[in-house]
């Protein structure tokens, strides 16, 4: 069975602080994909990143970075120098190579205080 | 390019009334999903279409929920009769992938249902 766990339900940081959102996944498949989505107050989930299970290289995109570690089944997301516009709920998700099905975590609500 | 369009954005009904939600996916996206999102939770799959075929509806409460995707484009999700516990956000998403889950999902803004 597949499962995604986001243990942090709510995080508050002061603007310009760095923050890391944790994501732990479970699957027995060797080929899978991991995603992060952002859900601002408007409600629409916005795709941030996709990684496949064979690519453990960390990725940086502006103030965002992702740390994928298969050894610990984790795919953590760091926002550097947080801004108020980063306030949203962030979801980690897992999909397998077959079935076109996505498994979402319960989300982490991030509040950036000005 | 237009994104996934959903309507209505908000709907308030009394219990036992019917309700329908409409979704227009991104042009060319073969796969369409309906998700249920309760407050403080992640999206949970209700039904997935590959073109016009419902390939995964195992989580759809078929006694009161129904869905269709005519001609493999737009889709409608219906609840009849609605219950108090159906109050949630109903999200539609589409992806270009077919058969494999390599493509990211593109979501609409959701339809927020309140059942009184």
Q: Which residue has the tokens 């050894």?
A: A71
Query: Is A97 within 8 Å of B101 (Cβ atoms)?
Result: yes
- According to the model, what pLDDT value does residue A54 have? 87
- Which A residues, 46 through 85, put their C-beta within 8 Å of a C-beta on chain B? 46-47, 50, 52
One pLDDT digit (tens) per residue for chain B, 116 residues: 689 999 999 999 999 999 999 999 999 888 999 999 999 899 999 999 988 999 889 889 999 999 999 888 999 999 999 999 999 999 999 988 654 556 688 999 999 999 99
CATH of residue A22: 2.60.40.10
Residue whose C-alpha is closest to residue A83's, from A40, A47, A32: A40
Beta strand B19-24 with A32-39 is: unpaired
Query: Is B44 within 8 Å of A101 (Cβ atoms)?
Result: no
What's the domain count of chain B?
Answer: 1
Q: DSSP label at B58?
A: T
Contacts of A95 in chain B (CB under 8 A): 101-102
Nearest Cα of chain A lies from the Cα of B57 at a distance, in angstroms, of 11
- Residue B27: give the domain boundaries: 5-115
CATH of residue B87: 2.60.40.10
What's the domain count of chain A?
Answer: 1
The pLDDT tens digits of the residues spanning A23-72 come to: 999 999 888 999 999 999 888 999 998 888 888 888 888 999 999 999 99
Query: First-to-last CA distance in chain B?
Result: 37
Beta-carbon contacts of B70 under 8 Å, excluding residues fewer than 6 positions away, are: B52
- According to the model, what pLDDT value does residue A99 have? 62
- According to the model, what pLDDT value does residue B102 have? 61
Contacts of B95 in chain A (CB under 8 A): 100
């Amino acid at each position: 069975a597949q499962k995604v766990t986001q243990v942090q339900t709510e995080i508050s940081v002061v603007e310009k602080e760095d923050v890391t959102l944790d994501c732990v996944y479970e699957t027995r498949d060797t080929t899978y994909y991991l995603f992060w989505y952002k859900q601002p107050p408007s409600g629409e989930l916005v795709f941030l990143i996709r990684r496949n299970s064979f690519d453990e290289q960390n990725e940086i995109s502006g103030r965002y970075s992702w740390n994928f570690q298969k050894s610990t089944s984790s795919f953590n997301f760091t926002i550097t120098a947080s801004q108020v516009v980063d306030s949203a709920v962030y979801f980690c998700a897992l999909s397998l190579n077959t079935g076109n099905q996505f498994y979402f975590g319960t989300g982490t609500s991030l509040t950036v205080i000005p | 390019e237009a994104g996934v369009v959903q309507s209505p954005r908000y709907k308030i009904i009394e219990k036992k009334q019917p309700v329908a939600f409409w979704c227009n996916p991104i042009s060319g996206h073969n796969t369409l999903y309906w998700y249920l999102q309760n407050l403080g939770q992640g999206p949970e799959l209700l039904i997935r279409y590959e073109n016009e075929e419902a390939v995964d509806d195992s989580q759809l409460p078929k006694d009161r929920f129904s869905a269709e995707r005519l001609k493999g484009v737009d889709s409608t999700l219906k609840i009849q009769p609605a219950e108090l516990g159906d109050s949630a956000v109903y999200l539609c998403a589409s992806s270009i992938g077919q058969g494999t889950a390599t493509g990211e999902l593109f979501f609409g803004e959701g339809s927020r249902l309140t059942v009184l």
